[in-house]
Amino acid sequence: MKFYIESYGKINLALDVLNKRPDGYHEIRSVMQQISLSDQLIFQGQETGASIQCDNNSVPLNEDNLIYKAWKKLSDITNSKAGIAVKVSKRIPVAAGLAGGSGNGAATLLALNELWGLGLSIRELMDIGRTIGADIPFCLLGGTALAEGIGEKLTPIKSFQDKSILLINPGIQISSGFAYGLLRMKDERLPIDSLIKHIEDDNLIKVAKNIGNVMEDAILPLYPAIDEIKKIMIELGALGSLMSGSGSSVFGIYEDPEKCDFAKNKLVDRYPYVFNVLTI
């Protein structure tokens, strides 16, 4: 039996970092938004172990992959000896601030829950996922949500779906650990409560004015291409533009889908990854 599943990416409409915890993780407050850009995963049972194939050479195929970690965690919890073979068709750029790896891990939990007939609820899978990766619970929940703690404490927000987003990645890979290591804490907080209100009011213009990411202060000086993309998006009609997560992907919010298409066509030959996506 084969099981097909789409693994969706996310952007951070806001990302604030509150402090660093004794365990090395950072307390965050973030508005996460699922987007239509996805990887496709095909799962098939095998006798033992977990084997991973991927059409992107940047993706690890060993125990460092969150697919493997998700399989191992569920195997340990259920005392299952069953193996899994996974084939990944990768569209989401790697190490790009889009939770591509976390989405693959979440998809693995969903697939094994079905293939192994475990009957676990989404909430139960989220509790398991949080022990594997901080973004996995959101990738299971989807939609729009306020993320707190290290990203695992989630409060759903009224749907912000079907908004036109231009997404560009300049081909730069930035690990989250490296990015957070550069961060300097600030007392000033982002207007996240205002952003949530504007999302719930479906006021796209005010949403775009209240997006923010404290990681930009650390990342943009090292990678000027990211700031360049932000500025170009604004010049090409975006209401607002922001780096997602720890980078290096940048998104622009467009009120007019035709302007979004126009901007994509202008930039598609300039950068290695250019997508028109929708919020979901």
pLDDT in tens, 46-104: 999 999 999 999 999 999 999 999 999 999 999 999 999 999 999 999 999 999 999 99
Residues 6+ apart with CB under 8 A from 189: 16, 18, 29
Catalytic residue (choose from 10, 69, 163, 230): 10
Q: Is 87 a catalytic residue?
A: no
DSSP three-state, residue 131: coil
Q: Smallest Cα–Cα separation from 45: which of 109, 115, 95?
A: 115
The single-letter code of the amino acid at 36 is: S
Catalytic residue (choose from 16, 39, 73, 135): 135
> Residue 4 has what DSSP assignment?
E
- pLDDT at 149 (0 to 100): 93
- pLDDT at 150 (0 to 100): 87
- pLDDT at 248 (0 to 100): 95
Q: Is 158 a catalytic residue?
A: no
Which parts of the chain register pLDDT below 70? none
Residues 6+ apart with CB under 8 A from 28: 15, 16, 17, 18, 147, 148, 149, 150, 151
- pLDDT at 140 (0 to 100): 98
Architecture, CATH, for domain 2-156: 2-Layer Sandwich (3.30)
> Residue 120 has what DSSP assignment?
-
Fold of the domain built from segment(s) 164-278: Alpha-Beta Plaits (3.30.70)
Q: How far apart are the first and last CA of the chain?
A: 29
pLDDT in tens, 220-231: 999 999 999 999
- Cis peptide, bond prior to residue 121, ω within 30 of zero: no
- pLDDT at 184 (0 to 100): 87
Q: What are the residue ranges spanned by the domains of the chain?
A: 2-156, 164-278
